Amino acid sequence: MVPGRSLRRNCDTDRAATIKHRHVEAGHQLWALRWGGESHAIELGRVYLLGSAQECDLQIQDAAPHHARLEIVDGHVEISDLGSDAGVLHNEERVCRAVLHAGDRVGLADEILVLTPDDGSAAIVPLPDMRQAAAQRRILRIRAAASALRYHDQSLSDLFVQRLREAPWLALSVVLHALLILMIAIYAPRKDRAAQEVATINFEATDGSPPGDGPPAPPEVIVEEVRDEQVEETDPLAAPDPIPVVNGHDEQRPIEIAENPLLRVRGRARQGGNAGAAVADRGSAGFRKRVAELKANGLEIMFVFDSTGSMTSTIEETKSTIVGMCEALRALVPDARIGLVTYRDRGKREAYLIRQIPLTRDHWRASNFVQFVNAGGGDDIPEAVDAGLAAAMKQTWRPDARRVIVLAGDAPSHPRKLRNILRDVRAWCRDGRSFVHTLIANPENAGELTASEFEQIADNGRGVCQPIENHGQILQRVLTLAFGHEFGEDLDNVVREIEQRRHRVDTASMHLVRKAGPQLAAALLQEPFPTPLWNALVRKPRGPAAAVLLDLLADRRTPPPTRHAVAAALQRILDLEKPPIDPQTNQPASKRRIARLRQRAERLPD
């Protein structure tokens, strides 16, 4: 048997069977082939060649050069394979020839064509010869136009006259526009030149040196004095009288970050100062009364926390949230002091027993101290809770202030130490103004012994014991315990509002950072450290501003509050793992360390 005859016989059989089951009355229905988002009309009596060759009616990329033939035969639409390797798919089945019904899918290479009824909107497929002739005519027109432009010998005036002849309305438009401009120039009100600065430029030409011997001297610009100026422009950074800020050393001139009078005229409010300072007057009546009492008598908080390995998540959250807590504390009670004590356990394997900073109004020092604390050690369950509490109670507390100790941990003390802890806590709280609260971190792992012991410490300290499941709110809980747990909702609103305002930067601070130099250095010496200025420093780090910070960090005359705020800013600007000074010692950084930091600062943009 001849293979070609067998293939032809099979295709004829498929054709007959398909015609029998799917007869399409083409005389009563117009058809279109939907492909590529467009509908292509199928005309009666025309044969469509489908493939990737130029002479195909429908060019399909990645198809064979002559892939398939589409035509209307005996009143129905028929698709035929022209021997391509990929073949023709009819409704996902490979065929040699098939009759198409409405909605049938034809697969050629990676393209899907769908037969749909033509409602008159389908586009007629141009003949390949016509398409190629049109493309050739376009090429010839482009070449002719390019040649005419290249060798055109008309002048600009001749070309303009020719265009006016072709479009007379253009001349009318030119005349009308000229008249309009002339009327505006005649009747428009003239500006008062007396209210403007008049600059006179004097050019002095000399022939003492030959041309090209060097660049000419810049022209002299003389600005005449304006006599009838209506708005006096003052320096937004004008400083008040000198104020000594370092006893026994050179006096610095702090910069009052003033508002530009032009911005004041436009009604723009200044954003300087302590973010959230007005929140102290909000909240419930009881909360406002408590804030007023604390402002009058003082508030002091010692945060005592475990820093063994199981407290990793708590310590990391404390590092990221302590700045916000200190900002809220300063907004509510500006004179409040805060101290920190962290403890591990006794033994040679432990890096330390306790580390601490005393009660201080320097909130940046407290923030930097936490950055140096890492969780580690604690091989056994009991920890030195007694040592942490003893260090807190030995602080120099102000006599009339509300004194609060907050203990946070997830492990109990050693069994023999609990009795002494309870005795010392009771004695410390005898005055009626002192409280000891406890927070159980990781309550699911702390165990019943830790919960029982921390509850006893809180009961003897006239405080409360609370579990902490959300480590991100631990410092907010410290604030709540310090002011009173009944004011939790008021403090939540305060912290939320201050957090929204804390990252704002005013234009005067941005101007200082861009200008840098002595004015920035003087502004950084204000106390308390201006929060908007700190935000401006870290928002867009600049090399000159970083150089000013490093000068202050290296100068032993810089007050400790400024030094700690500068160190916190440099940690952010230079992407340091820790602040560049130790908050426990308050000592300036070494010359070698400052030199290395200057090298990193030189990489910052100007």
> Nearest-CA neighbor of 86 among 63, 118, 119, 115?
63
> Do residues 353 and 387 make contact, with C-beta atoms less than 8 angstroms apart?
yes
Of the candidates 355, 367, 349, 359, the residue with the CA atom closest to the CA atom of residue 307: 355
> Which backbone phi and psi does 62 adopt, to 5 degrees?
70, 0
> Predicted confidence band at 279 (pLDDT cuts at 50, 70, 90)?
low
Task: Please state the rounded mean pLDDT for residues 380-401.
Answer: 93
Task: For residue 443, give the H/E element and its range.
Answer: helix 443-460
Percent over 90 (pLDDT), the chain: 27
Spatial distance between the Cα atoms of 97 and 79, rounded to a whole number of angstroms: 6
Tokens representing 435? 């409280």
pLDDT at position 59 is 87
Q: Is the pLDDT confidence value at 204 over 60?
A: no
> Backbone phi, then psi, for 383, in 5-degree steps?
-130, 170
Count of helix runs (H) and strand runs (E) in the chain: 19, 20
**Residue 447 scores a pLDDT above 60:** yes
φ, ψ at 583 (rounded to 5°): -70, -20
What confidence tier does 343 reach under pLDDT thresholds 50, 70, 90?
Answer: very high
According to the per-residue pLDDT averaged within each range, which of 117-131, 158-172, 206-220 is highest? 117-131
- Write down the mean pLDDT value for the chain: 77
SS3 at position 351: coil
Which long-range CB contacts under 8 A does 347-353 form with residues at least 24 apart? 349/377, 349/379, 350/377, 350/378, 351/376, 351/377, 353/384, 353/387
Q: Are 453 and 419 in contact, with CB atoms under 8 Å apart?
A: no
Q: Regarding beta strands 48-51 and 123-124, do their DSSP bridges make them parallel or antiparallel, or are they unpaired?
A: unpaired
Out of 108-122, 198-212, 225-239, the most confident range is 108-122
User: Is the pLDDT assigned to residue 197 strictly greater than 60?
Assistant: no
Burial of residue 282 (number of CB atoms within 10 Å: 0-12, 13-18, 19+): middle
DSSP string, 247-311: TTSPPP-----PPPHHHHHTTPPP--SSTTGGGGG-S-HHHHHHHHHHHHH-EEEEEEEE-SGGG
What mean pLDDT is predicted for residues 547-559?
Answer: 90
88: enclosing H helix or E strand: strand 88-90
Q: Which of 411, 420, 418 is nearest to 377 (CA)?
A: 411
Minimum mean pLDDT range among 216-230, 463-477, 549-563: 216-230
- Sheet strand arrangement including 402-409: 354-360, 337-343, 299-306, 402-409, 434-441, 465-468
Give all domains of the chain, ordered by start, each with its CATH number. 3-130 (2.60.200.20), 278-501 (3.40.50.410), 507-601 (no CATH)
Number of CB atoms found within 10 A of residue 434's CB: 21
Tell me whether residue 567 is exposed, middle or buried, using C-beta atoms within 10 angstroms of its C-beta: 0 to 12, 13 to 18, 19 or more.
Answer: buried
Position 195 scores a pLDDT of 46
Section 548-562 average pLDDT: 90
Q: Around 286, how many Cα atoms within 13 Å sit in the side-chain half-sphere?
A: 9
HSE on the CB side for 252, CA within 13 Å? 21
User: Residue 267: pLDDT above 80?
Assistant: no
Contact between 547 and 598 under an 8 Å Cβ cutoff? The reply is yes
Q: Which residues contact 197 (CB under 8 A, 6 or more apart)?
A: 223, 224, 226
Q: Are strands 48-51 and 402-409 parallel, antiparallel or unpaired?
A: unpaired
Structure-token pair, residue 384: 């030195």
Nearest alpha-carbon partner for 68 in 83, 85, 90: 83
Strand order in the sheet with 76-81: 58-59, 48-51, 68-73, 76-81, 97-100
The answer to pTM > 0.85 is no
pLDDT one-digit tens code per residue, 141-186: 766 666 655 555 555 566 666 766 666 677 777 778 888 888 887 7
Q: What is the spatial distance between Cα 372 and Cα 391, in angstroms, rounded to a whole number? A: 19
For 250, residues 6+ apart whose C-beta sits below 8 A from its C-beta are: 557
